[in-house]
Structure 1
Amino acid sequence: MKYRRLGDSDLQVSEISLGSWLTFGVGVEADKARACLDRALDIGINFIDTANIYGRGAAESFLGGALAGRPRDSYVLATKLFFPMTENDRGLSRTQILKQVDASLTRLKTDYIDLYQCHRYDDETPIEETMEALSEVVRSGKARHIGFSEWTPQNIRDALAVPGTVKFVSSQPQYSLLWRAPEAEVIPLSAANGISQIVWSPLAQGVLTGKYRPGEAPPPDSRATSDQMGGFIDRFMNDTVLGAVEQLRPLAAEAGCTLAQFALAWVLREPNVASAIIGASRPEQVDDNAAASGLSIDPALFEKAEAIAASIVRA
């Protein structure tokens, strides 16, 4: 496993990280989730990403129990806040930030969070209030660093302009061969300001693993057939996209790796990406994805892959 520095922080995070969206505490049984987590940590994945909204606290609670007994400095723990936890508890006001960080710490059974992230931007709270509250959380020792997810370039600039506050070290956007939007502005702006990307859905909800074939029903045990985990995959589940993914198979074979490893290595080719978040329901998926770290692949193969992916947009 290779490691990269997270923005201007002192954190060294594994190039492949383990996420818990739709899986831990929700779509994957506890014993299977525990097996995935243990395997990830055993092979050098040190970065674990979650959020208070995942299972309305269930993912954090699972991790709190599953990580108990491991040295706290042996892993980097990230969580988020923004989405409604109750009818009245949502957003990034000072009240909510201070309330939700304490609730997350309790569920995670830890004294501090390595990376506390704004899950989305809060248009209803002044950015000055948000940044000052996040700074208070860091200065109190409850979080070491702060980040954000899916903020616009203007959101980022507004936050950076607030004087006397702690600066962000991470951005968490969706990014993959099939979704390259962050390249236009978010990645250059972040790189210029000491902010790294921690990307979610680098395998496009599993479509870039090649498990879904055009004209065929999804495998019965896959995310696409799960009521708990399949709600976000529909936009990729059409024959145009799946046909393009089929064209990527020979490129991965030429590179000597699986399609999933090829897709993850493509994401990691970007220097501003510190880590790619994977989800897993079986330890062998963790093994396969982790093997993408440190892969050296001919850039010409990536260029061919980009041309194939671009053809979907033109179709």
Structure 2
Amino acid sequence: MKFRHVGNSGLVVSRLAYGNWLTRTDTNSADTGAACVRAALDAGITTFDTADVYADGAAEESLGRALKGERREGLEILTKVFAPTGPGRNDSGLSRKHVRESLDGSLRRLGMEYVDIYQAHRFDVSTPLEETMEAFADVVHAGKAHYIGVSEWTAGQLRRGHALARELRIPLISNQPQYSALWRVPEAEVMPVCEELGIGQIVWSPLAQGVLTGKYAPGRGWPEGSRAGAVNDGSEVLAGWLTEEVLGRVQRLRPIAADLGLTVAQLALAWVLRHPNVSAAVLGASRPEQLTGNAKAADAELDDEVVAAVDGVLGPVAAFDPAATEESSPADPGWRLA
């Protein structure tokens, strides 16, 4: 496993992180979840990403149990706040009240005294940004979080948040956008601003919800047990990629990957990790062997010719529009979480 600093900070994370958005729900046994965490650790992964809303808090609980007994100083734990965690009017968003209460709940479920990066899961247009950043300053100064991060913020929102963080003398070091060879939305605006400000990307869905593994072939049924054949939180995210053209182009990556001794998934992950602003890519897994195999992508180096070949295949069906970066709040019924 290789490691990289998050932006310009001193925090070092594993190039691949283990995330449990869709992999720690009622459909996954506790034993399988623990085995996936063990496989991640065995592969050299030390960075783990979760959120208060995943599986209604059960994701944080199971991650905490699986990591119990591990040396806490050797791990980097990330969690998030924003989504509704209860029925109350103040049980969502980025108000001072919800930020502080949500982190206390996350720490209780994780069984930990602090997280390494506490992330705003989305931008909250219903709360003054000054209030949110002051609440983040509170938790950093209280020792409950070492660093602050955000997810799916626009370039303008990142600039405003970073300026306030500097005033408050707290480290805003990471952004967590969706990013893959099929979803290149952050490249035009978000990544250049983050490079300028010293913010690193810890990206989600680097395999486009499994489409970039090559397991979905055009003209065939979905593999048994796959996300495409299930109704879950990721179905909306995945649906846009399940077209004949996209799936056919993904199959054209097979010879490119084979020439490098890689699987299609490893090639897709290496494509993401080659970007200098990407500190880590978050992987999910429903089976331990998925992590074991995909972890090899951290060692793969792609030259310009290979990158150009991948871009030539997927570029015509990839998303590039920077306006697709989400701007959402608890009042927006269209928001989704990852």
Match of 1:250 in 2: 255
Q: CA deviation at 1:227?
A: 2.4
Partner secondary structure for residue 56 of structure 1: helix
| Alignment pair present for 1:106 and 2:111 | no
Q: Does the CA-based 8 Å contact 2:274-2:302 persist in structure 1? A: no
Residues 9 and 26 (structure 1), Cα distance of their counterparts in 2 relative to 1, 3 Å cut:
farther
CA distance in 1, matches of 2:171, 2:116: 14
2:213 to 209, 212, 235: 209
Q: CA deviation at 1:10?
A: 2.4
Partner secondary structure for residue 215 of structure 1: coil
CA distance in 2, matches of 1:26, 1:116: 25
Q: Does the CA-based 8 Å contact 1:26-1:59 persist in structure 2? A: no
Of residues 228-237 and 127-136 in structure 1, the stretch that sits farther from structure 2 once superposed is 228-237
Letter in 1 for 2:123: Y
Match of 2:198 in 1: 194
1:228 to 226, 232, 238: 232
| Alignment pair present for 1:11 and 2:11 | yes
For structure 1, which runs of at least 5 residues remain unmatched after alignment?
A: none
Q: Deviations over 1:265-300 (max 9, x none)?
A: 000110110101110011110011100002122321
Partner secondary structure for residue 77 of structure 1: strand
CA distance in 1, matches of 2:38, 2:136: 31
Match of 1:304 in 2: 309
Q: CA deviation at 1:73?
A: 1.1
For structure 2, which runs of at least 5 residues remain unmatched after alignment?
A: 320-338
In angstroms, what is the RMSD of aligned CA positions?
1.3
CA distance in 2, matches of 1:181, 1:64: 33
| Alignment pair present for 1:50 and 2:50 | yes
Q: Deviations over 1:170-209 (max 9, x none)?
A: 0000000000010001111111111100000000000000
Q: Does the CA-based 8 Å contact 1:25-1:62 persist in structure 2? A: no
Q: Deviations over 1:26-62 (max 9, x none)?
A: 4422111111100101221000000001011010011
When normalised by structure 2's length, the TM-score is 0.90
Q: How many residues align?
A: 314
Partner secondary structure for residue 297 of structure 2: coil
CA distance in 2, matches of 1:43, 1:167: 29
Partner secondary structure for residue 192 of structure 1: helix
| Alignment pair present for 1:36 and 2:40 | no
CA distance in 2, matches of 1:242, 1:161: 42
Letter in 1 for 2:15: E
2:135 to 133, 136, 139: 133
Of residues 161-170 and 81-90 in structure 1, the stretch that sits farther from structure 2 once superposed is 161-170
Residues 313 and 65 (structure 1), Cα distance of their counterparts in 2 relative to 1, 3 Å cut:
closer
When normalised by structure 1's length, the TM-score is 0.97
CA distance in 2, matches of 1:230, 1:17: 19
Residues 179 and 192 (structure 1), Cα distance of their counterparts in 2 relative to 1, 3 Å cut:
same
